[in-house]
Amino acid sequence: MSKDNIISLIQGFTIELNPKVRFKLNSIPLDSKNHIYITYLPDASENDILETVEFVSNQKLIPIVHLPARTMKDLDHVRDFLKEVRKRTNSSKILVIGGGGDQKGSITSSLDILDSGLLAEFGFHHIGIAGHPEGSPDISQDTINEFLNKKFELSKSSNLDLELVTQFFFNAQPFIEWCEKLKKENINLPVRVGFPGPASFKTLLNFGLMSGVGNSLNFLKKNSTKVSDLLTKTSNDEMLLELSNYASNLSPLKSFHCFPFGGFEKTCLWLNEVQSGSFSLENNKLKLHKKIF
């Protein structure tokens, strides 16, 4: 049953692709049901992002571009960007986030974009928004809660199809508590969990420090010996098992997004094996039939 739960959660997984990584790829080893989020970091070249959208589309895959509100100069900039994205893909999916770094123009939050009508104008009807199970180093918890409630109310009044896509973490418990809080507050949005793909402990720690993932980073440090041994070989199997069992129990958790910290292509191959059920469970650890890492 636990194996079935893992396969069920992983089905239709998504994965993140940085445009800088895309230039190292000749192809993408994924099925068409697995879509690709394309990052838009504060220092990124917009041309690189658009070329990555086109590259993913040419692979017969669905790109889901990040749209960071505070990186955009104004709604005219958003319009121009969406117009260029639309030239390169028929994807109806997009991820609208606040974005890191300093505010570059008049847009203060992702809510400004969600409320503008521009997404529907360009055919983006399935919209991811950021979920912060452990808070954010850039925004107070009160502000996070306030804006999540406003987005949920907007989704009802404007008939927006929203999905919460979370930051990665290393400890399932704060995430589960956050999901239960959503249920208690009747914020009925599906959740796509952000999961750190297979990588070394050092790599995970570095990404955790950069992202400020809160309490689960402390959990990772406290369990460094145990987790480092585990993650040099495979992923955080115990956390994956805990999440998949939770997802099977009428929870908001509906789908799975992977951050490929151990390398994009290898992480794709690892996810393919898990999605196809080509593994066994031994002492709460995944043993893949084919060695990837």
Q: What is the pLDDT along the chain (293 residues), one digit of tens a residue?
A: 699 999 999 999 999 999 999 999 999 999 999 999 999 999 899 999 999 999 999 999 999 999 999 999 999 999 999 999 999 999 999 999 998 878 999 999 999 999 999 999 999 999 999 999 988 777 888 999 999 999 999 999 998 999 999 999 989 999 999 999 999 999 999 999 999 998 877 777 777 666 655 555 565 555 555 554 544 545 689 999 999 999 988 899 999 999 999 899 999 999 999 999 999 999 989 999 999 98
**Residue 231: per-residue pLDDT:** 47
**Residue 225: per-residue pLDDT:** 56
Phi, psi of 168 (to 5 degrees): -75, 165
* Tally of structural domains, the chain: 1
Domain range for residue 110? 3-288
Handedness of CA 169, 174, 176, 180 (dihedral sign): negative
Residue 110 included in any domain: yes
**Residue 140: per-residue pLDDT:** 84
Burial 91-129 (b: 16+ CB within 10 A, else e): bebbbbbbbbeeebeebebbbbbbbeebbeebebeebbb
**Residue 79: per-residue pLDDT:** 99
Residue 293 included in any domain: no
**Residue 115: per-residue pLDDT:** 96
Residue 61 included in any domain: yes
Q: Is the separation of the CB atoms in 277 and 285 below 8 Å?
A: no
Phi, psi of 164 (to 5 degrees): -85, 125
Task: Find the distance separating the first CA and the last CA of the chain, reported in whole Å.
Answer: 25
Tokens 């986030």 sit at which residue?
97
Q: Is the separation of the CB atoms in 104 and 70 below 8 Å?
A: yes
The residues with which 195 forms a beta bridge, in sequence order, are 258
**Residue 214: per-residue pLDDT:** 57
Q: Which of 162, 166, 134, 163 lies closest to 257 in space, CA to CA?
A: 166
Structure tokens at 281: 């469970």
Strands (DSSP E) found in 18-92: 36-38, 63-68
Read off the CATH number of the domain in which 130 is found.
Answer: 3.20.20.220
Measured distance CA(216)–CA(219) in Å, rounded: 5
Residue 216 included in any domain: yes
**Residue 248: per-residue pLDDT:** 86
Residue 33 included in any domain: yes
Residue 222 included in any domain: yes
pLDDT tens figures, 122-169: 999 999 999 999 887 778 889 999 999 999 999 999 989 999 999 999
Handedness of CA 242, 244, 249, 250 (dihedral sign): positive
Q: Is the separation of the CB atoms in 111 and 83 below 8 Å?
A: no
